């Protein structure tokens, strides 16, 4: 993924054991297309060498305010002038205290104060140091000053204690940096997403399910969060990690998904139904394991036929769209044939604002897809791409239509697409 293509980042390291994770982060930021200029405090050099960071980034590392390598001897200004952001990983207690007070006693603090770009910091420290009232005060003050504070997380610490203050993992910081650069098209909005398959039990060990991997729904949840929305994800069984910052509610059956969605729906501005919901559940599901061979009177055993009876599941999307004040509703249609006709029919039948059509062969399991959007005013094609890239384009299309709709008077907006 080239999420950070064209971005130039100053990666600042301060003195803390988590500095070893900065090496991994530098690598990942570049894998995603960023160029990385490392600046280290003197303290950081006790934990990881400048040689390591130079080898990983292919650029000389700056540590000293009086470094003469910049032609005008103005490293404290020049290094951040081309930067899209400064990212401090790890940020020590001392460094956060200096930032809170605008101190400039080394190259990195001076760079931060002299910057004209955003500043993101990932605190890393012992739990007592993080909990200290001065640190809490300083962290709040830098946040109030517009600094983006990433984490910290809670968990095992290098000192052997367990608690809050642990630095986020490099992949989490990467996700947060990527999210930071996405346009905040859904700021102030709440978005509810369903994803994955549902699983309808036959007995305690068997079930009817489908091939949905959940990748598209998870990508939509992530993209909506990146766009600034508060996101709740109601997920059927998948092996996927919850996107950062997203609240996830796990369900198994369509009826559980229906109940969870109906609890959440009216407090959301937008509902995106990506889940591949089973249309039926088994009426005569057994509460004990069905045996392949049922013993007959002689005890010999006889192969038994199995008859299942089905009852229809609630249509979750249609139920949300029928609420008195429904959120902006978006459905998916995965079809094997007649995509356009089926998608247009679903748009009308479910009375939703948008249907996202795709071919069933693309929809299940793959990492990429191609989508067509139907909104009652024509079709928009989103060309084949990675599912996260597509999800971001879809979120932009939804945000645009939601904004247009909210500009209409309330009575006109009802029932419109």
List 35, 41, 253, 313, residue binding ligand CTP (CB under 6 A): 313
List 189, 215, 222, 346, residue binding ligand CTP (CB under 6 A): 346
218 vs 332 by CB, closer to ligand CTP: 332
145 vs 279 by CB, closer to ligand CTP: 279
Q: Does 18 bind ligand CTP (CB under 6 A)?
A: no
Nearest residue to 352 via CA among 400, 398, 403, 412: 398
Query: Annotated catalytic residue: which of 63, 159, 270, 329?
Result: 159
Cβ neighbors of 354 (< 8 A, separation 6 or more) are 328, 329, 330, 331, 347, 373, 374, 375, 397, 398, 401, 417
| Pair 254, 234: CB distance under 8 Å | no
Taking CB under 6 A as the binding criterion, the range among 127-135, 179-187, 242-250, 328-336 that sits at the site for ligand CTP is 328-336
Separation in Å, CA 416 to CA 224, 288, 354: 22, 49, 11
Q: Does 282 bind ligand CTP (CB under 6 A)?
A: no
Q: Does 332 bind ligand CTP (CB under 6 A)?
A: yes
Separation in Å, CA 154 to CA 6, 180, 244: 33, 22, 15
228 vs 331 by CB, closer to ligand CTP: 331
CA distance between the termini of the chain: 33
Q: Does 84 bind ligand CTP (CB under 6 A)?
A: no
List 185, 275, 354, 391, residue binding ligand CTP (CB under 6 A): 275
Q: Does 374 bind ligand CTP (CB under 6 A)?
A: no
Strands annotated E in 239-286: 247-250, 270-273, 280-282
Q: Does 331 bind ligand CTP (CB under 6 A)?
A: yes
Q: Does 315 bind ligand CTP (CB under 6 A)?
A: yes
Residue 85 burial (CB < 10 Å; 0-12/13-18/19+)?
buried
**Which two structure tokens, joined as six digits, stand for 312?**
């229809």
| Pair 229, 186: CB distance under 8 Å | yes
- Per-residue binding string, ligand CTP, 248-267, x by CB under 6 A, is ------x-------------
Alpha-carbon distance of 258 to 166, in angstroms, equals 38
**Smallest distance from the beta carbon of 408 to ligand CTP, in angstroms?**
24
List 64, 279, 302, 338, residue binding ligand CTP (CB under 6 A): 279
**Smallest distance from the beta carbon of 332 to ligand CTP, in angstroms?**
4
Q: Does 316 bind ligand CTP (CB under 6 A)?
A: yes
Taking CB under 6 A as the binding criterion, the range among 34-42, 68-76, 93-101, 315-323 that sits at the site for ligand CTP is 315-323
Query: Is residue 159 flagged as an active site residue?
Result: yes
Phi and psi torsions of 174, nearest 5°: -55, -50
DSSP letters for 62-128: B--TT-TTSTTS-HHHHHHHT-SEEEEEEE-HHHHHHHHHT--SSHHHHHHHT-SS-EEEEE---HH
Catalytic residues: 159
Q: Where on the chain is the footprint of ligand CTP (CB under 6 A)? A: 194, 254, 273, 275, 277, 279, 313, 315-317, 331-334, 346
């Amino acid at each position: 993924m080239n999420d950070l293509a064209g971005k130039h980042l100053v990666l600042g390291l301060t003195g803390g054991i988590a500095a070893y994770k900065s090496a991994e982060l530098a690598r990942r930021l570049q894998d995603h297309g960023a160029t990385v200029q490392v600046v280290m405090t003197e303290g950081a050099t006790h934990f990881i060498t400048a040689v390591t960071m130079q080898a990983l980034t292919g650029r000389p590392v700056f540590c000293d305010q009086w470094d003469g390598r910049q032609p005008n001897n103005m490293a404290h200004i020049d290094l951040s002038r081309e930067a899209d952001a400064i990212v401090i990983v790890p940020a020590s207690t001392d460094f956060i205290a200096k930032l809170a007070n605008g101190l400039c006693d080394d190259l990195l603090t001076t760079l931060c104060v002299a910057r004209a770009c955003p500043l993101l910091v990932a605190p890393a420290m012992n739990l007592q140091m993080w909990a200290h009232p001065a640190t809490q005060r300083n962290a709040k003050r830098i946040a109030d000053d517009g600094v983006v504070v990433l984490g910290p997380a809670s968990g095992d610490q290098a000192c052997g204690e367990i608690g809050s203050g642990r630095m986020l993992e490099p992949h989490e910081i990467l996700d947060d940096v990527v999210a930071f650069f996405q346009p905040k098209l859904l700021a102030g909005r709440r978005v509810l997403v369903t994803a994955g398959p549902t699983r309808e039990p036959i007995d305690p060990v068997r079930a009817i399910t489908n091939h949905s991997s959940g990748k598209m729904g998870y990508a939509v949840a992530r993209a909506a969060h990146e766009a600034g929305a508060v996101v709740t994800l109601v997920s059927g069984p998948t092996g996927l990690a919850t996107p950062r910052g997203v609240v996830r509610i796990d369900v198994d059956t369509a009826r559980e998904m229906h109940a969870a969605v109906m609890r959440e729906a009216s407090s959301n501005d937008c509902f995106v139904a990506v889940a591949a919901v089973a249309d039926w559940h088994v009426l005569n599901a057994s509460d004990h394991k069905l045996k392949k061979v049922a013993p007959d009177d002689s005890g010999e055993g006889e192969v038994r036929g199995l008859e299942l009876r089905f009852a229809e599941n609630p249509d979750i999307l249609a139920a949300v769209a029928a609420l008195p004040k429904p959120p902006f509703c978006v459905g998916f249609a995965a079809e094997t044939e007649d995509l356009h006709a089926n998608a247009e029919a679903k748009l009308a039948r479910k009375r939703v604002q948008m249907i996202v059509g795709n071919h069933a062969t693309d929809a299940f399991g793959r990492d990429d897809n191609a989508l067509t959007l139907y909104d009652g005013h024509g079709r928009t094609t989103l060309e084949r791409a990675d599912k996260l890239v597509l999800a971001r384009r879809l979120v932009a299309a939804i945000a645009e239509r939601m904004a247009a709709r909210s500009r209409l008077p309330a009575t006109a907006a009802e029932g419109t697409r």
